[in-house]
Structure 1
């Protein structure tokens, strides 16, 4: 079974060595390529083209990569292509030889524009399996695209629990809380919440390995208890998690239902509770009241109350942190995710393309 793994990012120089030496978490597409005994395709394979990249980033659609992959898949006699993002999965649906099976993982499956494009071009007929990164998004895409249960699956993003793991027990009395990440963050609401809590120190690490945009905090006057910290390498990031009493992940109310999930997972893997915004997808990445607390979008008062209640209860912080580590390790480990992806691809290749509900082949 020949499978081509497609990643929509560039692989930094030296990354493999950093993983080998334990300075970086394992990466899904590298692990998949190794499991399938195959190669992966990423942005490093494309010719430099700044203008093309800007246009593709604007429309969130990797047309050049789709063209490359379609040619490579046909020349290499691949049985299946696994697109790890809809950025390449959508244009590739139009270009890939229909005899080659195609599975695509959607990270923003409830985007009205994407759903409209898929329905207009009837792209749902081109994919063997559509994987959404939450049950809520899988259900939404299933309904919006008229697909049956076998064609749309929930495939929650994984975390490398061997990399993100606590080196020492939490005291429940660490000196500050922390919020990290960039994608769809609602830092203004968190900053306003922290103004209500002058006795609690909060560190903001605004940044991302995968996206570049403004964080939303730039126009806010930071209170004295909120400190901006630099974005750091994953090897240092582990220490940042460990030094925090707990983690806050404020998310905007948008159609990006699972935004923030990787930060929520990493925090729990490090044995830290999480205060997060209640979103249809993100809510599946913690257990409200057991591994973290959920608050409504844009509600600074509720966020402040959740932060203060957890801050004032060190024993609860310890208890929730332990539960969080156990839950993430047993449900969302990278190895469990790899097993599931392998199983899905094997089923597709062995059984052939499944019919689309209500639509002819």
Structure 2
């Protein structure tokens, strides 16, 4: 049993737990899982391995496929990593009761292979952006290659049902998780305005809103990704946000990130207009730390903050509205404390990491008992 009390894999009537293959990216981390597990047990970084521990699953990441020996390893080195992972997942699928994918790219690639080659192993996808054309169109064609989607965006769930041929029971809505043990209220003195993130961020609006407040602004960011239709742009924001005094911009370690939340008078999440729930990680981490959070009210960021109850929402790109929200928090410490306490209570009631992991496990166990039928779908017919 994991140290947090979450149960391990549940066994079926024959005494066997479902065999699960998790297909995912390791992201920018180059640390092996053994070292990461040591750090997480010591409380030095969030418990990102908890899902793998609870499922008792095998993990197929990019390092697994590119490090393979033999002809497959040689072939995989010439392919995009998510394509190589999907091919390997299809080849290994008969050894598992469920294949779980965690990203849009992995989901589309596995769905295509499972539908085309009629792989009968159930496929569970964890996704947050089904409306993107490069995801929506392939999912409609290879719809039968995905047996269930778990998402934490109510808008994206609605759009997938409307546009990609999924029935409501095929898309499970859950609360986005945050490690409420790692991010928690601290006793540090609050001295800064803090922000962080890498997707659809509008840090320039924050900088302009904070101008003249005479309080340090710290932004944990380097590369910021923005999307406009089919175009994706990546920009290094370090040194690009103007001449604001006491502005610090750069990446932080998990421990430094936690300390920054603890030191924040207010956590600000300025967003560009989008139909995804960009900013949800930082919003929840700030709330878990018991800090007042101000975020942009975008079309997609609608599932966490209740304006005036557990945080504040302002229109995207509105410098004056963001300035007013920041000043409200800075000038009324009692109201800020109330927002912070309500935010922490909300996280504990709705967004615990253990609850998210339990929902994933329950869905893998349900799918393990099924044998899907695979067909191709021609759009418009």
TM-score tier after normalising by the smaller chain length? 0.7 to 0.9
Match of 2:296 among 263, 268, 277: 277
Instruction: Measure how far apart 1:201 and its partner are.
Output: 3.0
- 1:246 corresponds in structure 2 to 266
8 Å Cα contact 2:224-2:236 kept in structure 1: no
Report whether the alignment pairs 1:91 with 2:106: no
Determine whether 1:24 maps to 2:24: no
For the pair 1:236 / 2:256, whether they are aligned, the reply is yes
Match in the other structure for 1:176: 192
Q: 1:209: how far off?
A: 12
3-12 or 298-307: which moved more? 3-12
Question: Distance between the aligned counterparts of 1:295 and 1:15, measured in 2?
Answer: 37
Tell me what 2:24 maps to.
7
Pick aligned residue for 2:305 from 286, 305, 329? 286
Query: 1:5·1:32 contact (CA, 8 Å) conserved in 2?
Result: no
CA positional deviation for 1:113? 3.0
Query: Is 2:139 the counterpart of 1:118?
Result: yes
Q: Normalising to structure 1: TM-score of the pair?
A: 0.86
Q: Contact 2:293–2:312 (CA<8 Å) still a contact in 1? A: yes
Unaligned residue ranges in structure 1 (runs of 5+): none
Per-residue CA deviations over 1:190-219 (Å, capped at 9, x if unaligned) read: 122222x43343222214799994244644
**In 2, Cα distance between the equivalents of 1:139 and 1:131?**
13
The RMSD of aligned alpha carbons is: 2.9
Aligned to 2:12: none
Q: Deviations over 1:67-93 (max 9, x none)?
A: 12222223xx20111101112111111
Deviation at 1:332, TM superposition (A): 0.5
Shift of 1:54: 11
- Greater shift after overlay, 186-195 or 325-334? 186-195
Which residue is equivalent to 2:98?
A: 80
Q: Deviations over 1:125-169 (max 9, x none)?
A: 21110222211111111111122111112233211111111233x
Could you say which residue in structure 2 is the equivalent of 1:204?
A: 219
- 1:297 maps to which residue? 316
Counterpart residue number, 1:105: 126
Task: Choose from 33, 42, 45 the match for 2:61.
Answer: 42
TM-score by length of 2: 0.81
Change (3 A) 1:278 1:42: same
Q: Report the Cα offset of residue 346 of structure 1.
A: 1.7
Q: Which runs of 4+ in 1 moved over 6 A?
A: 52-55, 208-212
The offset of 1:37, in angstroms, is 2.2
Partners of 1:177 and 1:244 within 8 A in 2? yes
Aligned partner of residue 299 in structure 2, secondary structure: coil
Give matches, 1:178-193, under 5 Å. 178-193=194-209
* Counterparts of 1:302 and 1:214, CA distance in 2: 26
Are 2:223 and 2:234, in contact at CA under 8 Å, matched by a contact in 1? no
Structure 1 residue 293, shift from structure 2 partner: 0.7
Aligned pairs for 1:258-269 within 5 A: 258-269=277-288
1:128–1:354 Cα contact (<8 Å) kept: no
Please say if residues 274 and 299 of structure 2, whose CA atoms lie closer than 8 Å, have aligned partners that are also in contact: no
The equivalent residue for 2:148 is 129
Please identify, of 12-21 and 266-275, the stretch whose mean Cα deviation from structure 2 is larger: 12-21
1:331 equivalent among 350, 371, 376: 350
Is the 1:6–1:81 Cα contact (8 Å) retained in structure 2? yes
Give the paired residue count. Answer: 340
